[in-house]
Amino acid sequence: MAAMAPGGASSSEIYKGNAPRLLLPTWVVIGVFLLVPVALMAIYSFLTKEFRGGVIWEFTLAAYDQFFLDRGLFGDEPPSIEWTYITIFWRSIWQAGLATVLCLLIGFPTAWFIATRDARMRTVWLLVVTVPYWVNLLIRTVSMKFLIRDEGPLNAFLLWTGVIDQPLGLINTNLAVQLGLFYSYLPFMVLPIYAAVERYDFALSEAAADLYADRWTILRLVILPVVKPGLVAGCILVFVPSLGAFLAPDLLGGAKSFMIGSLIEEQFKGAAGNWPFGAAAAMILMTIVMIVLLVYARSQTREAAA
Amino acid sequence: MNVPLLGYEPINGWYHPGKEKQFRGWFGIVTGTVISIDRVVKSFGTFTALHEVSLDIADNEFFTLLGPSGCGKTTLLRCIAGFEPVSGGQIRLHGEDIAPLPPFKRPVNTVFQHYALFPHMTVLENVMFGLQRLGWSVVDAEGRAKQALELVHLSQFLKRRPGQLSGGQQQRVALARALAPEPKVLLLDEPLSALDLKLRQAVRMELKQIQRETGIAFVFVTHDQEEALTMSDRIAVMSDGHVQQIGTPREIYEAPANRFVADFIGETNLIEVPVLGIEGGMAEVSLPGGRALRCPTPLTGPVGQGVLSLRPERIDLCAPGEADLVVTATDQVYLGTDIQLKATLAGGQELTIRLQNALATRLPEAGTQVGLKLEAGAARLLAA
């Protein structure tokens, strides 16, 4: 330890032997609230369903078979792919992706605007952005439903101004679900980007301008790369919950805008449920999210190494 | 992208190691004006940061803007770079008014106080940045960037990121980055203030040397008078948004134009004296205690009262009989090379005298009466 003070031990030395004990609380929390539930879910997905909810402890691949295959592996005819759930999955992915892109497009300028105000106004603007989210998500989503339904204020206003001559019929569409997702998760985009932009040193923009970069070049080559951790954090925070959302598709969408979150929710609700199938769908969802995050993390480490 | 800005084209082969650039001039030898600041005004709301500032900066000159914080020196620099739009006046670069241009169209580069290196780029990419924006190919830009980094002795760190370098090294990268596009003028905003003392002193000489090698005009902003005196060809002393005096370090120190400059540059004693007469740049004043003294002055008209600036290092001790001033010693401060003697005049005013720390130096004890002899060049009469 080169930096060690004479007669004393460096901090890493003090903690070295105690590391396992000091990390105990962390491991308890991660174990009880993360590893055990995930393990339970994984196990349940391989069990046989009990008709009134719950499971029978008999190992089977039936849940995964039901998810992916129409004619199963164990029938007389050759297996074929079941498209119903894959379609729902695919719809969930692009809905969540679109919500992420929209949140990014609106969230970045918003965060930039807030971060460039003076200190007092920043607090005010942050409050303005977050206050609506003190209201329960369910209530906000129901309110959205009332706003955009055919008899709601949005249509009433547009009819009154004469922009349209019949209601838009927004409700029960993918667009309505998208609106719900976008509105629900916008602050999760704004806040991390705000944190990154607030730390951004505006002298960097001046330096770039001084070195013959125009405004768009500064944005592209300096600002965006420097605040990228905030952008990535925001995208993850919007994409992941959007992918598993069930309130927005339940309340705003129709049969054709069903998302994976609703599918999972249904399997655990009431007598019609199928716990192993719900657990299997959740496992598949989690796997996809993990793969996306791992690919990103891998690309980051490769970039840092280069 | 390949269109040169303002008809300015970076010249290849600006620096070849081993082949020194053609010598273009010594200290004050002026080959032409590169930047002409003409009655520039800058206001922030009701506050005026620059009051009709005018000054000319010559080709390959090391020019320093010196003043206390808040004097407008950094504002002026930012106006030249284009970060602050001027409220009035012209900034002419080789005769062309660049005041309306955005910063990215000015062939002027800046070394920022805290370097402002791009943290996500390597050292080499940082230095290549400006060249690539000017439309240089990657190969050419890389070649020039490497030359610039060689000039600041950083060739071994091309692939590092700024965060992996020490403060001094980052400062060199910032310098290389600003020099690489071969600007007409290099602006330096207190670039040494974040370095520690030893490093600062070493970098001073190096900066001066790089300035001579490249022949680029440097405009250097600092509040450190020692820095200004040691590095500059010429200095503009500023306060409250006005230029107080422009001159060589020697002129500024030995012939300050006013009380502010005399007080700000170096140490001085300022005492109010009645003026007996002024003629041809020389004044006759009456010293406290009654003796008359002839000394240089920038004043012309008849004035009743003036301020006499006495440089502490040009005052010597002598017998009270032949003294210009008689004081009572009060205190002494040991400074190593010098010894500072504090004394008071009969009127109660404090004086500081600097004596060389020679073996023979005899210091009067506190409370004793001492005679002071004013050497030639010790006194200068300024406006009250």
Cβ contact (<8 Å) for B103 and A209? Answer: yes
Cβ contact (<8 Å) for B114 and A203? Answer: yes
pLDDT at B120 over 50: yes
**Residue B357 vs residue A305, higher pLDDT:** B357
Mutate one of B104, B161, B184, B187 to test the A interface: name it (highest A CB count within 10 A). B104
CA distance A29 to A241: 21
Cβ contact (<8 Å) for A212 and B108? Answer: no
CA distance B114 to B173: 12
- SS3 state of residue B157: helix
CATH of the domain at A80: 1.10.3720.10
Residues of chain A contacting residue B117, judged by C-beta atoms under 8 Å apart: 207
Please tell me the predicted confidence (pLDDT) of residue B19: 33
Does residue A11 fall inside a structural domain? no
pLDDT at A80 over 70: yes
Q: Which residues contact B146 (CB under 8 A, 6 or more apart)?
A: B124, B155, B158
Chain-wide mean pLDDT for chain B? 86
pLDDT at B1 over 50: no
**Candidates B5, B108, B119; nearest CB to A226:** B119
Cβ contact (<8 Å) for B104 and A210? Answer: yes
Phi, psi of B159, deg, nearest 5: -95, -5
**Residue pair B284/B352 in contact by the 8 Å Cβ criterion:** no
Query: For B81-90, B151-160, B351-360, which range has the lowest pLDDT when averaged over its residues?
Result: B351-360
Q: Which residues contact B316 (CB under 8 A, 6 or more apart)?
A: B355, B372, B373, B375
Query: For A118-127, A146-155, A187-196, which range has the lowest pLDDT when averaged over its residues?
Result: A146-155
**Candidates A204, A214, A217; nearest CB to B118:** A204
Please tell me the predicted confidence (pLDDT) of residue B22: 39
Does residue A21 fall inside a structural domain? no
**Residue pair B355/B343 in contact by the 8 Å Cβ criterion:** no
CA distance B13 to B47: 46
Model confidence at B347, pLDDT cuts 50, 70, 90, reads confident
Cβ contact (<8 Å) for B104 and A213? Answer: yes
Please tell me the predicted confidence (pLDDT) of residue A74: 67
Residue of B nearest to A211 (CA): B130
- SS3 state of residue B217: strand
Does residue A263 fall inside a structural domain? yes
Q: How many angstroms separate the CA of residue A304 from the nearest CA in chain B? A: 10
Cβ contact (<8 Å) for A211 and B133? Answer: yes
For residues B273-300, give the mean pLDDT. Answer: 88
Residues of chain A contacting residue B171, judged by C-beta atoms under 8 Å apart: none
Cβ contact (<8 Å) for B129 and A211? Answer: yes
Q: How many angstroms separate the CA of residue B101 from the nearest CA in chain A? A: 12
pTM of the model: 0.80
For residues A202-221, give the mean pLDDT. Answer: 94
**DSSP for B314-338, written as a single string:** GEEEE-GGG-SEEEEEEEEEE-SSE
Model confidence at B20, pLDDT cuts 50, 70, 90, reads very low
pLDDT at A15 over 70: no
pLDDT digits (tens, 9 = 90+) for B235-282: 999 999 999 999 999 999 999 999 999 999 988 999 999 999 888 888
**DSSP for A208-259, written as a single string:** HHHTT--HHHHIIIIIHHHHHHHHHHHHHHHHHHHHT--HHHHHH--GGG--
The residue segments making up the domain with residue A214 are 52-305
Residues of chain B contacting residue A206, judged by C-beta atoms under 8 Å apart: 81, 83, 103, 110, 112, 116
Rg, C-alpha atoms of chain A: 25
Please tell me the predicted confidence (pLDDT) of residue A298: 87
Model confidence at B8, pLDDT cuts 50, 70, 90, reads very low
CA distance B157 to B170: 11
Q: How many angstroms separate the CA of residue A227 from the nearest CA in chain B? A: 10
Q: What ipTM is given for this predicted complex?
A: 0.80
Report domain extents, chain B: 33-107+183-254, 267-383
**Candidates A204, A212, A225; nearest CB to B133:** A212
pLDDT digits (tens, 9 = 90+) for B215-230: 899 999 999 998 999 9
Residues of chain A contacting residue B109, judged by C-beta atoms under 8 Å apart: 210-211
Cβ contact (<8 Å) for B133 and A226? Answer: no
CA distance B249 to B220: 14
CATH superfamily of B33-107+183-254: P-loop containing nucleotide triphosphate hydrolases (3.40.50.300)
For residues A72-76, give the mean pLDDT. Answer: 69
pLDDT at A48 over 80: yes
Q: CATH for B267-383? A: 2.40.50.140
CA distance B330 to B342: 6
Does residue A26 fall inside a structural domain? no
Please tell me the predicted confidence (pLDDT) of residue B318: 85
Please tell me the predicted confidence (pLDDT) of residue A195: 94
Give the largest CA-CA distance in chain B.
78
**Residue pair A234/A104 in contact by the 8 Å Cβ criterion:** yes
Q: What angle do CA A50, A55, A60 make, to 5 degrees?
A: 95
A213 at B interface, C-beta within 8 A: yes
Q: How many angstroms separate the CA of residue A300 from the nearest CA in chain B? A: 12
Model confidence at B202, pLDDT cuts 50, 70, 90, reads confident
Among A157, A201, A171, residue whose Cα is nearest residue B115 = A201
Please tell me the predicted confidence (pLDDT) of residue A52: 73
Q: What angle do CA A278, A280, A283 make, to 5 degrees?
A: 110
Does residue A141 fall inside a structural domain? yes
Q: Which residues contact A129 (CB under 8 A, 6 or more apart)?
A: A110, A114, A186, A187, A190, A191
Residue of A nearest to B125 (CA): A221
Does residue A93 fall inside a structural domain? yes
**Candidates A209, A212, A222; nearest CB to B118:** A222
The domain total for chain A is 1
pLDDT at B23 over 60: no
Residues in chain B: 384
A303 at B interface, C-beta within 8 A: no
For residue B164, the 8-state DSSP code is G
Mutate one of A202, A211, A214, A303 to test the B interface: name it (highest B CB count within 10 A). A211
Chain-wide mean pLDDT for chain A? 87
pLDDT at B172 over 70: yes
**DSSP for chain A, written as a single string:** -TTPPTTS--HHHHHHTTHHHHHHHHHHHHIIIIIHHHHHHHHHTTSEEPTTSSEES----HHHHHHHBSS-TTSSSPP-B-HHHHHHHHHHHHHHHHHHHHHHHHHHHHHHHHHTS-HHHHHHHHHHHHGGGGS-HHHHHHHHHHHHSTTSHHHHHHHHHTS-SS----TTSHHHHHHHHHHHHHHHHHHHHHHHHHH--THHHHHHHHTT--HHHHIIIIIHHHHHHHHHHHHHHHHHHHHT--HHHHHH--GGG--HHHHHHHHTSSTT--HHHHHHHHHHHHHHHHHHHHHHHHHHHHHHH-
- Compute the count of residue pairs across chains A and B with CB atoms less than 8 Å apart: 64
Residues of chain B contacting residue A203, judged by C-beta atoms under 8 Å apart: 112, 114, 116
pLDDT at B327 over 60: yes
A57 at B interface, C-beta within 8 A: no
Please tell me the predicted confidence (pLDDT) of residue B262: 93
Please tell me the predicted confidence (pLDDT) of residue B364: 83
Model confidence at B60, pLDDT cuts 50, 70, 90, reads confident
pLDDT digits (tens, 9 = 90+) for A94-126: 999 999 999 999 999 999 999 999 999 999 999
pLDDT digits (tens, 9 = 90+) for A235-289: 999 999 999 898 888 888 877 888 988 889 888 887 678 889 999 999 999 998 8
pLDDT digits (tens, 9 = 90+) for B86-110: 999 999 998 889 999 999 999 999 9
pLDDT digits (tens, 9 = 90+) for B178-189: 999 989 899 999
Please tell me the predicted confidence (pLDDT) of residue A84: 86
Q: How many CA atoms lie within 13 A of B24 on its CB side?
A: 18
For residues B13-28, give the mean pLDDT. Answer: 39
Q: How many angstroms separate the CA of residue A127 from the nearest CA in chain B? A: 29
For residues B73-88, give the mean pLDDT. Answer: 94
Q: Alpha carbon of B232 to those of A248, B19, B193, B204: distances in Å?
A: 69, 25, 16, 10
**Residues B355, B357, B359, B362: is their CA dihedral positive or negative?**
positive
**Candidates B102, B108, B120; nearest CB to A225:** B120
